Chain A
Amino acid sequence: MPVFEKVLIANRGEIALRIHHTLKSMGLRTVLAHHAVDAGSPAALAADETVELHGATPVAAYLDIAQLVEACRRSGAQAVHPGYGFLSENAGFARALEEAGIVFIGPRADTIELMGDKVRARNFVAERGFPVAPGAIEDDDPATFVGRARQLGTPLLIKPSAGGGGKGMRIVRDLAQLESEIATARREGERYFGDGRLFVERYVERPRHIEVQVLGDESGQVVHLWERECSVQRRFQKIIEETPSPALTGKQRHDICEAAAGIARACGYRGAGTVEFIYGAGGEFYFLEMNTRLQVEHPVTEMVTGIDLVREQVRVARGEPLAFAQSDIAQQGHAIECRLYAEDAAHDFRPATGKILRWQAPAGPGVRVDSGVREGQAVTAAFDPMIAKIICHGATRDEAIARSVRALQDTVLLGLTTNARYLARVLQHPEFMEGRADTGMLARCAEELRGAVLEEADTDLAIAAAVLSDRELLRAVRSVPAMHAAMGAWRN
């Protein structure tokens, strides 16, 4: 049974801090590996020790396997938690650690490899009788790929074999565009994943994204921790997630969760993972992919089950058996996560950068905020624009929505544009309130989700704030004798 007392966190931002908190609560020591740009981040300040990583760019530093292995050696860390993103789904990293005698807190390298290849994963799942959408895989016979794709009929979805995160995905509604869209998807696949191989699937209309949290131990025990719905997306990226899904009936929930646990069992899954499905308006669901890591949206599951997923990851990595059986895992109430992004929703979600001048996280009953920023820190274009996750729990879905709206209104982040108010508008939109949101909602409802034009009184308030914080202006105005000042107020 591997024993470790010191864990290196190979990540940054909110997830690094969140992992640190659980590790500390388990009596472990933490080492944060970070690039110089994150030296003053809350995670770096909280960690017991830090090791600086170097790289041509900050992202390159966090992706440097050799440096991270060396950082473990130097700091004496006996295990690594990779968080999400970066090296969390890199089989080479898991192997390099294993060779160095360091525990990777995650699944086995071969599981990462299997699920990291979207085509292999799809075949694996289909061969074991789990549902996949009708599709055509380029590698099966590259010469006939376009023809086979054409035969499926529209609408089609083109995906890179090595893909993820919506990168390089293309919807084709007109077969005349099939070949040019394939060319574009291939270029993006090559750029993002260094792999231009593709596959196409029947595109499910009004698709909803439903995923299931699973947890497996070394001995092959697997449980699911229910589903999360992540249908509210912009550019194929989730911005609001919740559990339970308002789309599912009791039977569907059971079926989809059992299918996920079955897939995890079939690959001997170890640790925390997520099986993603596309769910259609007719109640059909198809395997999409499996993420072999902790998800960004894992807190909603923690809120309704009371289970700390990072704690369970660590326990499994130590070789301990799961502490609970499927029947012990209940969903209590409803939880919603909103991702606070540095972006301008009014201008096609373009990323915003700047220095955080004021940051006041919301608080209150049922409110959890996972963030990794502090005042004075700069949000740059180097990383993903997520600033914080605002997670709210309620006894009912309506209560969770109400608490989330309130929390977003109470979120103070000054210095750069965020999507806080946009998120609140999405939560209050009838499609979301009635539980009808699908992955096309944000694009379809773009007009209705636009912010109201500022009223005169609000403009007055904004201008008064600007005037009253303009020291140079106030000093100049104060130096004018009162009588002249009064004259200045007259109209010509």
Chain B
Amino acid sequence: MRRRYLINGQTHDVVVTRGVNGGFSILRAGRRIDARAEALSDGRQRLMFDGQAHTVWIAASEKSVFVHSNANGAIEIETVDAAGGAGQARAGASDTLVAPMPGTVIAVPVAEGDRVSVGQPLMVIESMKLETTLAAPREARVKAVHFGVGATFGLKAILVTLQDL
């Protein structure tokens, strides 16, 4: 089985197969890692691979797995669709202004149809009392403004769509 993971913005492709002794083999970057997990009574997991044991906390949401080790702290591993998924959204970023955080729209200094230049403010948003101005990534025309003043939106919501001049 193939999986594509995203860690700190880096994509990692792996192939997972059944291993020996009830474990699993993970092929990544040309190497094979034999891994096995054991649950501890306090809720932690003991991960064993490459002859080493690591005691970690693991928690999973629908899209991500979080792992805490005392050496590294918490790491988020996002599972992305190997066909594109998160990677694709990134590629199209110059056509859409995506919400970097959930929040509320405070001001929209542009209107649909406006011609905007690089760095021109498109939307002012507020999240947790922090105000952020989102600027145009390139010279373009505003195709659509998806949220008006006062509207709230979630993380990665498309706020503004741009089109070529």
Q: Which A residues fall within an 8 A CB radius of B?
A: 188, 191, 235, 346-347, 349-355, 357-358, 360, 380-381, 383-385, 409-410, 412-415, 417-418, 420-421, 424, 453-454, 456-470, 473-474, 476-478, 480, 482, 485-486, 488-489, 491
Contact = CB atoms under 8 A, between A and B. Distances in A.
B18 interface: yes
B18 A480 contact: yes
Contacts of B57: 358, 360, 412, 414
A482 B18 contact: yes
A420 B72 CA distance: 11
Given A417-B76, A485-B17, A460 B127 contact: no
Contacts of A468: 24, 35-37, 45, 47, 58
B66 A358 contact: yes
Interface string B34-65: 01110000010101011000101111110001
Contacts of A351: 101-103, 127-128, 130
A488 B5 CA distance: 20
A209 B110 CA distance: 39
B28 A463 contact: yes
B102 A415 contact: no
By size class, the interface of chain B is: 35 or more
B73 interface: yes
B145 interface: no
A477 B66 contact: no
B88 interface: no
Given A381-B103, A462-B75, A466-B65, 18 more contacts: A351-B102, A357-B60, A409-B70, A412-B74, A414-B68, A421-B74, A454-B7, A458-B71, A458-B72, A459-B7, A461-B47, A464-B26, A465-B47, A465-B65, A467-B24, A468-B24, A470-B60, A486-B17
Nearest to A360: B57
Given A357-B61, A469-B60, A489-B32, A462 B67 contact: yes
B100 interface: yes
B138 interface: no
Given A467-B24, A469-B58, A473-B3, A462 B129 contact: no
B14 interface: yes
Nearest to A358: B59
13 contacts: A351-B103, A357-B59, A384-B128, A409-B70, A462-B67, A462-B77, A463-B33, A464-B47, A465-B67, A477-B24, A478-B18, A480-B17, A488-B17
B28 A465 contact: no
**A461, A465, A469, A476 — which one has the most chain B CB atoms within 10 A of its CB?**
A465
Contacts of A191: 106
B143 interface: no
Contact of B128 (A385, A457, A466, A473): A385
A413 B74 contact: yes
B61 to A, nearest CB: 6
Contacts of B29: 456
B158 interface: no
A454 B72 contact: yes
Given A351-B128, A461-B54, A410 B70 contact: yes
